[in-house]
Chains A and B, each alone.
Chain A
Amino acid sequence: NAGVMQNPRHLVRRRGQEARLRCSPMKGHSHVYWYRQLPEEGLKFMVYLQKENIIDESGMPKERFSAEFPKEGPSILRIQQVVRGDSAAYFCASSPPGTGGSYNEQFFGPGTRLTVL
């Protein structure tokens, strides 16, 4: 099991362009979480998805940001019309299906570092 994969590892965009970040969860994991880490800050939750469903998007800005986790393929975090403030490290984590009543460990990917010029 290769672990959670994220690509690209580094992404440079100019203001106004679109950024697409991809996350492939660990084999057998059906839950995906996206977190953002601004410089000198901790990781902040953005969105939680299961296959084809958004479960919780309370941490995601309402404009310009969207996320999906299709039946086939990786989860995608999409940022439209990027601004300098979007420059950050974006981490994806995955966890197995819930068993109820106990915490399911989240396994983190290496992150994508987005730089907006």
Chain B
Amino acid sequence: AQRVTQPEKLLSVFKGAPVELKCNYSYSGSPELFWYVQYSRQRLQLLLRHISRESIKGFTADLNKGETSFHLKKPFAQEEDSAMYYCALSGYSGNTPLVFGKGTRLSVIA
């Protein structure tokens, strides 16, 4: 069965501190992994996906197939990073439904 686990409901860090939002997945095959973000009063939007291997707003995420993880990292947190973060996977390419984790609320304290 496809499953995405985000173990932390809430993560609080101080401004300038490193951030790591954890995500583990369960899927038989080669999934595509994504991080979505929802800022206060805004829509859910794509932050980054593993296949593009890019850094967005200073965030990176590496797919570790051995540990079935896709943790989101940023070396220095900013106050504007405070938001709800969802890890998600899809089972194949093209147009396909997403399987979401329960989300982690990141709070960056000044």
Contacts and interface: CB of A to CB of B under 8 A. Distances in A.
B102 A103 contact: no
B43 A103 contact: no
Nearest to A48: B97
Interface string B41-66: 00111100101000000000000000
Main secondary structure of the interface of A (DSSP, over half): loop
Interface residues on A, range: 20 to 34
A99 B95 CA distance: 9
B86 interface: yes
A115 interface: no
Contacts of A99: 94
A101 B94 contact: yes
Interface stretch (A13-21, A62-70, A76-84, A105-113): A105-113
Interface residues of B, number: 23
Contacts, number: 62
B88 to A, nearest CB: 8
Given A43-B86, A108-B45, A109-B43, A101 B93 contact: yes
B32 interface: yes
A38 B49 CA distance: 25
Most buried by A among B46, B97, B98: B97
A56 B97 contact: yes
B90 interface: yes
Contacts of B102: 40-42
B100 interface: yes
Interface of B: 4, 6, 9, 32, 43-46, 49, 51, 86, 90, 93-103
Interface of A: 3-4, 31, 33, 35, 40-45, 48, 56, 59, 91, 95, 97-111
28 contacts: A3-B43, A33-B98, A35-B100, A40-B9, A42-B4, A42-B6, A42-B100, A42-B101, A43-B44, A45-B99, A48-B95, A48-B96, A95-B95, A97-B95, A100-B93, A100-B94, A101-B94, A102-B51, A102-B93, A102-B94, A103-B49, A103-B94, A103-B96, A105-B46, A106-B98, A107-B45, A108-B43, A111-B43
